[in-house]
């Protein structure tokens, strides 16, 4: 029977578990994961994170928005793939520590006293002497010079020889272990603060973001996070004198409501402005109400000066309106009446109203005390154009247009106008309606002019007074013509100049359209001018000699504004008459227990890198072997890295030995 080992036994393949450990602990895998994390960090730095999805749609467009959303680029540090890379890096680094740390820690204490003479003589840094001294004399010199150069030494008596092993920089191996442990701690901290648990709960169906605009107490339980949530970063806007025990976390295309174990009250909010009106600084006086406290905690926070309480960091992040009380004048844009109706509302409130037999909802969303625009004055960069209000008008079908109305008239080309911006969606820019200001600084004249154009009886009287002799009229019947002119003015008020041209295109043959269009516009200008003169006369203005240049400019601006009302989208114009300003402090509250691992991890990383690169492990051996002529002395050295620098140092040590032993 053959007792020799078989070929199969000699070449047994390694076990799968060993291959797996080798792969997980390989440097190639760790470097690949670190590069992937670096790329993700670049994306997270360049692309602003955790913004409303509408902002990303506006910036990138629907196509790229969907792609970036699927890749999780809007919240990189909490995306599934980023957390997976972190987790895999933890596993890889932990495997590397498991495989190599015991040997490295053992090597820190190992002086390699089992080395052979042949081995040390084969080192590039090795030199041999034949000395006529005694072994004890040489050994005495070795024991003096090794510590002098920073080497701790161990002596071994062998069979016919003495070996002194010296080592310096044992912490280099400790640096390797500390560096890898630091990576593990930092990654675990990143997993904790990166909402890995939140992602897992979402996958299990325990939570789901809310997409509707609901008060916190109406948000369903599946969108609530309890006080035991390990880590989060959310925001809340608290008006002065109010308090909150919840905050809101932007999550995907919606939000989650995070409950707090205490309530935060904003006792007072203060803001300072530059002369231009731009914010200079702002701060809040906060009161923490917690049943665990003997008395409420009071502290003032400002930008970059947060309040740290019970592991929660409360930052001063922004400010907004806190429900300002507004007094509005609702000027009707339809019908004969030009009288404004007073309306009281406040920011954040929805006001039901009936206008011209139609149901409307006024949704006031914001009030701004200052609006900073670029200045035309070369000596000033910015100018403050005064307060403004932002609101929506929603009709009975649910469709809404958003408006931005300024309280103070704004100058444009030497004239003053009340500005009212309008848009159909947040993705659009505001398009502005310019309502000219009259001599008294108000809009009464504009409204009187507009509603005179809605008065059919007045229009018929004015049309009857006009002389169109010599014009190629559509009808020779005077009454029928007057009726046509009244209808023409009505078309202009309702649909603007485009409505007039549409009427021509609809009712006039192609070959006569240009001629008739010019006629209609000329007649329309005469009607508008006559109505305007009538309005001025009723104001008591002497128009017997015509109107001056300023009033003529007002007429042109008013006519342009009336022609644009068809695209305005609201049956009334809301003028901001007065207000009582209430402010709200925008707070950001974060709980990040992972930092308790990240900070020590960073310290360990710094220490580990320092030990690895600035305290490399270096070894010296002194072999003493008695001979007939004295003693054979071999001095050898070896370093793990920086061999050139070590070779220079070794030569200096060798020369010092040679001076002492051969002198």
How many CB atoms neighbour CB 352 within 10 A? 8
Coil/strand/helix, residue 612: helix
Mean pLDDT of 271-276: 78
Mean pLDDT of 364-372: 90
Give Cβ neighbours of residue 301 (< 8 Å, ≥ 6 apart). 283, 284, 286, 307, 314, 315, 316
Helix ranges (DSSP H) in 243-354: none
| pLDDT reported for residue 313 | 95
| pLDDT reported for residue 555 | 93
Rounded distance between C-alpha atoms, residue 112 and residue 333, angstroms: 97
CA atoms in the 13 A half-sphere facing the CB of 600: 10
Of 447 and 110, the one with more pLDDT: 447
Contact between residue 196 and residue 90 where contact means Cβ atoms under 8 Å apart: no
Give Cβ neighbours of residue 82 (< 8 Å, ≥ 6 apart). 37, 40, 72, 76, 194
Predicted confidence (pLDDT) at residue 404 exceeds the cutoff of 80:
yes
pLDDT bin (cut points 50, 70, 90) of residue 12 is low
| pLDDT reported for residue 466 | 63
Predicted confidence (pLDDT) at residue 3 exceeds the cutoff of 60:
no
Mean pLDDT of 501-514: 80
Tokens 């659009």 correspond to 428
Cross-strand bridge partners of residue 359: 354
Q: What is the mean pLDDT of the chain?
A: 87
Tokens 């490399």 correspond to 616
Contact between residue 372 and residue 407 where contact means Cβ atoms under 8 Å apart: no
Tokens 């231009």 correspond to 276
Rounded distance between C-alpha atoms, residue 283 and residue 646, angstroms: 59
Of 94 and 515, the one with more pLDDT: 94
Of 468 and 425, the one with more pLDDT: 425
- Which stretch of 5-19, 53-67, 261-275, 453-467 has the lowest confidence by average pLDDT? 5-19
Angle at 355 between CA 352 and CA 361, to 5 degrees: 25
Predicted confidence (pLDDT) at residue 475 exceeds the cutoff of 50:
no
Contact between residue 329 and residue 407 where contact means Cβ atoms under 8 Å apart: no
pLDDT, tens digit (0-9, with 9 covering 90-100), for 607-637: 998 888 888 889 999 999 999 888 999 999 9
CB contact burial 488-518 (16+ within 10 A = b; e otherwise): bbebbbebbbebbbebbeeebeeeeeeebbe
Highest mean pLDDT among 14-28, 315-329, 445-459: 315-329
Percent of the chain with pLDDT over 70: 95
Segment 7-12 long-range contacts (CB within 8 Å, at least 24 positions apart): none
pLDDT bin (cut points 50, 70, 90) of residue 45 is confident
| pLDDT reported for residue 468 | 45
pLDDT, tens digit (0-9, with 9 covering 90-100), for 157-209: 989 999 999 999 887 888 888 999 999 999 888 888 877 778 888 888 899 99
- Which stretch of 237-246, 284-293, 493-502 has the lowest confidence by average pLDDT? 493-502
Rounded distance between C-alpha atoms, residue 237 and residue 474, angstroms: 64
pLDDT bin (cut points 50, 70, 90) of residue 222 is very high
Based on C-alpha coordinates, what's the Rg of the chain?
43
Predicted confidence (pLDDT) at residue 62 exceeds the cutoff of 70:
yes
pLDDT bin (cut points 50, 70, 90) of residue 582 is very high
Contact between residue 422 and residue 403 where contact means Cβ atoms under 8 Å apart: yes
The secondary structure of the chain in percent helix, strand, coil, rounded to multiples of 5, reads 45, 30, 25
What phi and psi values does residue 229 have, to the nearest 5 degrees?
-60, 130
Contact between residue 449 and residue 432 where contact means Cβ atoms under 8 Å apart: no
pLDDT bin (cut points 50, 70, 90) of residue 433 is very high
Coil/strand/helix, residue 292: coil
| pLDDT reported for residue 628 | 85
pLDDT bin (cut points 50, 70, 90) of residue 13 is low
Predicted confidence (pLDDT) at residue 407 exceeds the cutoff of 90:
yes
Token couple for 223? 């969108």
| pLDDT reported for residue 276 | 67
How many CB atoms neighbour CB 167 within 10 A? 22
Rounded distance between C-alpha atoms, residue 226 and residue 247, angstroms: 11
Rounded distance between C-alpha atoms, residue 326 and residue 336, angstroms: 27
Rounded distance between C-alpha atoms, residue 306 and residue 483, angstroms: 72
| pLDDT reported for residue 140 | 94
DSSP secondary structure code for residue 512 in this structure: G
| pLDDT reported for residue 130 | 92
pLDDT, tens digit (0-9, with 9 covering 90-100), for 294-325: 999 999 999 999 999 999 999 999 999 999 99
Predicted confidence (pLDDT) at residue 362 exceeds the cutoff of 90:
yes
| pLDDT reported for residue 467 | 54
pLDDT, tens digit (0-9, with 9 covering 90-100), for 338-354: 789 999 999 999 999 99
Of 69 and 329, the one with more pLDDT: 329
Token couple for 339? 């009288």
Helix axes 80-109, 171-193, angle to 10 degrees: 160
Q: Residue 303: which of 269, 257, 265, 258 has the closest Cα? A: 269
Contact between residue 110 and residue 617 where contact means Cβ atoms under 8 Å apart: no
Contact between residue 596 and residue 337 where contact means Cβ atoms under 8 Å apart: no
Token couple for 301? 């926070």
Q: Which helix (H) or strand (E) holds 554?
A: helix 549-564
Cross-strand bridge partners of residue 403: 391, 422
Predicted confidence (pLDDT) at residue 476 exceeds the cutoff of 60:
no
Predicted confidence (pLDDT) at residue 479 exceeds the cutoff of 70:
no
Rounded distance between C-alpha atoms, residue 78 and residue 331, angstroms: 50
């Amino acid at each position: 029977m053959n007792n020799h080992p078989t070929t199969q036994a000699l070449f047994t393949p390694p076990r799968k578990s060993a291959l797996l450990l080798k792969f997980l602990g390989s440097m190639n895998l760790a470097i690949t994961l670190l590069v992937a994390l670096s790329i993700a960090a670049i994306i997270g730095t360049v692309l602003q994170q955790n913004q409303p999805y509408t902002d990303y749609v506006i910036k990138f467009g629907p196509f790229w928005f969907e792609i970036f959303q699927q890749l999780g680029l809007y919240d990189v540090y909490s995306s599934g793939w980023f957390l997976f890379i972190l987790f895999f890096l933890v596993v890889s680094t932990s495997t590397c520590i498991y495989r190599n740390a015991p040997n490295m820690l053992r090597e820190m204490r190992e002086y390699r006293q089992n080395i052979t003479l042949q081995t040390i003589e084969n080192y590039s840094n090795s030199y041999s002497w034949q000395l006529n001294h005694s072994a004890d004399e040489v050994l005495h010199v070795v024991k003096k010079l090794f510590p002098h150069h920073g080497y701790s030494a161990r002596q071994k008596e062998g069979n016919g020889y003495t070996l002194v092993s010296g080592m310096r920089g044992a912490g280099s191996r400790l640096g390797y272990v500390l560096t890898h442990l630091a990576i593990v701690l930092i990654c675990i901290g990143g997993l904790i603060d990166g909402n890995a648990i939140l992602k897992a709960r979402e996958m299990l169906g325990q939570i789901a973001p809310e997409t509707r605009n609901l008060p916190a107490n109406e948000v369903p339980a599946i969108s609530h996070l309890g006080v035991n949530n390990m880590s989060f970063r959310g925001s809340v806007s608290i008006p002065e004198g109010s308090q909150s025990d919840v905050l809101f976390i932007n999550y995907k295309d919606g939000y989650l409501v995070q409950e707090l174990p205490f309530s935060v009250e904003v006792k007072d909010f203060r803001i300072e402005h530059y002369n231009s009106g731009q914010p200079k600084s702002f701060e809040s006086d906060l009161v923490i109400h917690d049943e665990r406290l003997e008395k409420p905690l009071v502290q003032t926070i400002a930008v970059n000066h947060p309040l740290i309480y019970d592991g929660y960091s409360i930052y001063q992040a922004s400010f907004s309106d806190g429900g300002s009380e507004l007094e509005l004048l609702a000027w009707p844009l339809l019908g004969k009446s030009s009288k404004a109706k007073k309306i009281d509302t406040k920011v954040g409130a929805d006001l039901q109203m009936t206008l011209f037999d139609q149901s409307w909802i006024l949704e006031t969303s914001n009030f701004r005390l200052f609006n900073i625009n670029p200045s035309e004055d070369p000596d000033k960069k910015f100018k403050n154009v005064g307060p403004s209000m932002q609101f929506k008008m929603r009709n009975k079908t649910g469709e809404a247009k958003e408006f931005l109305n300024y309280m103070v008239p704004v100058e444009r080309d030497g004239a003053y106008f009340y500005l009212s911006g309008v848009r159909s969606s947040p993705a659009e820019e505001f398009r502005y309606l310019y309502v000219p200001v009259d001599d008294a600084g108000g809009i009464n004249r504009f409204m009187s002019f507009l509603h005179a154009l809605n008065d059919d009886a007045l229009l018929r009287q004015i049309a009857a007074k006009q002389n169109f002799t010599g014009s190629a009229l559509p009808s020779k019947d005077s009454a029928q013509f007057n009726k046509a002119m009244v209808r023409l003015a009505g078309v202009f008020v309702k649909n603007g100049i485009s409505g007039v041209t549409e009427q021509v295109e609809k009712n006039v043959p192609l070959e006569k359209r240009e001629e008739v269009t010019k006629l209609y516009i000329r007649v329309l200008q005469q009607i508008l001018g006559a109505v305007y003169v009538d309005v001025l006369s009723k104001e008591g203005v002497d128009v017997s000699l015509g109107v001056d240049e300023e009033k003529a400019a007002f007429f042109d601006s008013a006519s342009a504004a009336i022609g644009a009302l068809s695209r305005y989208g609201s049956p009334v114009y809301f003028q901001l008459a007065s207000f009582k300003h209430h402010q709200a402090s925008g707070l950001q509250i974060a709980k990040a227990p992972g930092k308790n691992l990240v900070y020590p991890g960073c310290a360990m990383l710094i220490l580990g890198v320092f030990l690895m690169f600035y305290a490399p492990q270096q070894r010296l051996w002194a072999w003493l072997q008695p001979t007939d002529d004295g003693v054979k002395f071999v001095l050898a050295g070896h370093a793990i890295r920086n061999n050139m620098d070590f070779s220079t140092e070794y030569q200096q040590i060798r020369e010092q030995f040679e001076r002492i032993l051969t002198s």
